[in-house]
Amino acid sequence: MNKKERSRNSAVFGLKCPACREGDLFKPVNKLSDLFEMYDNCPNCDQQYEIEIGFYWGAMYVAYALSSAVCMGSTLIFMFVFNLSMMTSFVLMLILIILVSPYIFRLARSIWLHAFVKKEE
């Protein structure tokens, strides 16, 4: 293989196909509504992304854990590292979670899919 193979973590956080680790999971974003559009199959290896109907319901739990970690972690950092008031920390946390929510949605789906689909050999 000429090019360096992508690691599993790189594929998860880079939102790549779990089977080939090259194809994108999500379509390009041209407008705001495109943030949540996934391909049905991998553009590179044709791996099916929706294994069964309702497959991504479990990704909601992953998204909940990720967003809870961002909320709690950022609030604690704002309060104890930057010594901001609780109200200021809460407002900044709300702004931060609004900004990172689209990536959390995508990352949760990527983590969920990578948990069930293994790399093709």
Dist. CA 114–CA 8, nearest whole Å: 8
* Domain boundaries defined on the chain: 8-116
pTM of the model: 0.89
Dist. CA 66–CA 69, nearest whole Å: 5
User: Tokens standing for 94?
Assistant: 């709300």
Q: Which residues contact 21 (CB under 8 A, 6 or more apart)?
A: 5, 6, 8, 10, 11, 119
The closest alpha carbon to 119, from 6, 40, 26, belongs to: 6
pLDDT digit string (tens) for the chain, length 121 residues: 445 688 999 999 999 999 999 999 999 999 988 899 999 999 999 999 999 999 999 999 999 999 999 999 999 999 999 999 999 999 999 999 999 999 999 999 999 999 999 887 6
